[in-house]
C-alpha cells in the first residue's frame, strides 16, 4: 500500500485525482455563485493541494476550470439581475439582502472594475454585486471581460493556497488538504472582517464630518 493511500482512502484519492474531481469542483464553484453555503472556495483549495501532492489533476487544469466555472456563475447572476431585477422575489427584499444590494449599487457607481474584482473574494458581496451589475445594465462586454479577469485571479489564489501548503507540508494528500482548507477559511474570514469594517469606518467618518 502506498503512503498516499495509507492516509487517504484509495477510492476517494482516485476520485479527486481523476476527471470527476474536476467535475465536482466545477459544480460546487457554480453553485457557490448563488448559495454562499456551498463550499466552492474549499473545493478549489483542496484540489490545488491534491494537484501539488499527487501531480494529478494538473494544477493549471484546476485553475482554468475553476476560473471558467466561477465566470459562468457570475454571468448567470448578472443575467438574473438584468432580466428579473433585484426586487422580484421575496428573498431580495429581506433587510440584509437589501442592505447588501444598496451597498453594491453605491460601490459600482464609483468603480466597476475594482468592485467586481474585490467582490469575487467575498461570497455575499459577490452575489450582490453581480445582481446589481445586471440590474443596472452595465454593458455586457465590459462585465464579461472584467468578470473573467476577476474569476481567473480568484481561482489562481484559491488553488495556490492549497498548492503552497501541500508543497510545504509532508505527510501525503490528506494533511495537505486539511491544512490548506483551514488556511483558506482563515484567510477568507480575514477578508470578510476587513471588508465589513471598511464601510463602517467610512460611515463613521461621514457622520463626524456631517
Name all contacts of 116-122 with Cβ < 8 Å and 24+ positions apart.
116/143, 116/146, 116/147, 116/150, 117/146, 117/149, 117/150, 117/153, 118/195, 119/150, 120/70, 120/74, 120/150, 120/151, 120/153, 120/154, 121/154, 121/157, 121/188, 121/191, 122/191, 122/192, 122/195
pLDDT averaged over every residue in the chain: 83
Averaged over 157-167, what is the pLDDT?
92
- Tell me the per-residue pLDDT of 61-86, one tens digit each, with 9 for 90 and over: 999 999 999 999 999 999 998 998 87
| DSSP at 57 | S
Q: Which of 166, 186, 185 is nearest to 8 (CA)?
A: 166
Q: How far apart are CA 106 and CA 204, in angstroms?
A: 17
pLDDT digits (tens, 9 = 90+) for 83-112: 988 777 777 777 777 787 887 888 887 777
Q: What is the pLDDT of residue 14?
A: 87
Amino acid at each position: 500500500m502506498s503512503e498516499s493511500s495509507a492516509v487517504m482512502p484509495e477510492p476517494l484519492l482516485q476520485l479527486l485525482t481523476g476527471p470527476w474531481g474536476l467535475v465536482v469542483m466545477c459544480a460546487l464553484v457554480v453553485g457557490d455563485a448563488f448559495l454562499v453555503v456551498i463550499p466552492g472556495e474549499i473545493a478549489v483549495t483542496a484540489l490545488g493541494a491534491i494537484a501539488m501532492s499527487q501531480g494529478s489533476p494538473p494544477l493549471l487544469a484546476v485553475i482554468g476550470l475553476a476560473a471558467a466555472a466561477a465566470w459562468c456563475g457570475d454571468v448567470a447572476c448578472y443575467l438574473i439581475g438584468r432580466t428579473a431585477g433585484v426586487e422580484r422575489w421575496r428573498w431580495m427584499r429581506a433587510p440584509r439582502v437589501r442592505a447588501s444590494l444598496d451597498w453594491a449599487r453605491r460601490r459600482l457607481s464609483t468603480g466597476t472594475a475594482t468592485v467586481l474584482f474585490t467582490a469575487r473574494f467575498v461570497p455575499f458581496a459577490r452575489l450582490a454585486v453581480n445582481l446589481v451589475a445586471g440590474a443596472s445594465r452595465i454593458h455586457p462586454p465590459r462585465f464579461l471581460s472584467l468578470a473573467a479577469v476577476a474569476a481567473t485571479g480568484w481561482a489562481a489564489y484559491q488553488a495556490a493556497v492549497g498548492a503552497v501548503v501541500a508543497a510545504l507540508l509532508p505527510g501525503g494528500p490528506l494533511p495537505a488538504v486539511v491544512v490548506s482548507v483551514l488556511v483558506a477559511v482563515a484567510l477568507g474570514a480575514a477578508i470578510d472582517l476587513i471588508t465589513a469594517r471598511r464601510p463602517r469606518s467610512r460611515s463613521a467618518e461621514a457622520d463626524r464630518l456631517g
